Amino acid sequence: MRGVLITFEGVEGSGKSTQMARLQRSLKRQGYRVEQTAEPDGTALGQAVRRLFEQPRIHPTPLGEVFLFMAARQQHVTEKIRPWLRRGRVVLCDRYTDATLAYQGYGRGVDHDLVRELNLRATGGVLPDLTLLFDLAPAAGLRRIRGRRYDHFERETLAFHRRVRRGYLEILRAEPKRVRLIAAARPVEAVAGDVATVVEEFLRGA
């Protein structure tokens, strides 16, 4: 089987990371060669970018955020994602190109066409084959993660998170074949069942 890139997207607290870990275990049991990664944390450079956002005296502009994430993404594709795909792996990635469009494009107001162009440049055309969008009302997602220390984006206003969700739904409307909606407000097992159905159907045709 050729390598495929499956990305996991959604608002904060949507459960995508939990579902990605479950899917990885399931696919490995079925005999697939699976790699799991995340953005921006997938490389040492990406981890350094993540830490920048938590520095109290560093406040990137919206466009500055875009460039930081693009630098991390280009490194990620070069070091990890493209080599894995060449070896025929099923690559599962927690956030990728759509996250920048949703968070910095719709959330921050950065020009959407610019974000799309920079995504193409940063990835060298390595774009998702399938994207699972875990849709959840932002207020419900933030309630789920209440009690843990919020990161840079989790501390944003509810209005910001609503714009991000709206962005994700616009991406879904624009690319319904690639992006599949997963209703994330349900119990974990029900969500996992939908994820398994969508991914197994996709992999049979890959």
pLDDT tens string for the chain (206 positions)?
Answer: 689 999 999 999 999 999 999 999 999 999 999 999 999 999 999 999 999 988 888 899 999 999 999 999 999 999 999 999 999 999 999 999 999 999 999 999 999 999 999 999 999 999 999 999 999 999 999 899 887 777 788 888 999 999 999 999 999 999 999 999 999 999 999 999 999 999 999 999 87
Q: What is the pLDDT of residue 132?
A: 98
Distance of CA 103 to the CA centre of its chain: 11
Q: At what angle do helices 188-205 and 16-29 cross, to 10 degrees?
A: 50
pTM: 0.95
Q: What is the pLDDT of residue 127?
A: 97
Contact 126, 82 (CB under 8 A): yes
The two three-digit tokens of residue 98, written as one number: 């759509």
Q: What is the pLDDT of residue 151?
A: 74
Q: Give dist(CA 160, CA 170) in Å, integer.
A: 15
Q: What is the pLDDT of residue 146?
A: 83
Q: What is the pLDDT of residue 1?
A: 67
Q: What is the pLDDT of residue 172?
A: 98
The two three-digit tokens of residue 147, written as one number: 């009690």
> Cβ of 33: how many Cβ atoms within 10 Å?
14
Q: Give dist(CA 109, CA 106) in Å, integer.
A: 5
Q: Give dist(CA 201, CA 76) in Å, integer.
A: 27
Q: What is the pLDDT of residue 171?
A: 98
Ranges of H-type helices in 58-187: 62-76, 82-86, 97-100, 112-123, 138-144, 158-174
Please tell me the CATH code under which domain 4-205 is placed: 3.40.50.300
Contact 93, 138 (CB under 8 A): no
Domain ranges of the chain: 4-205
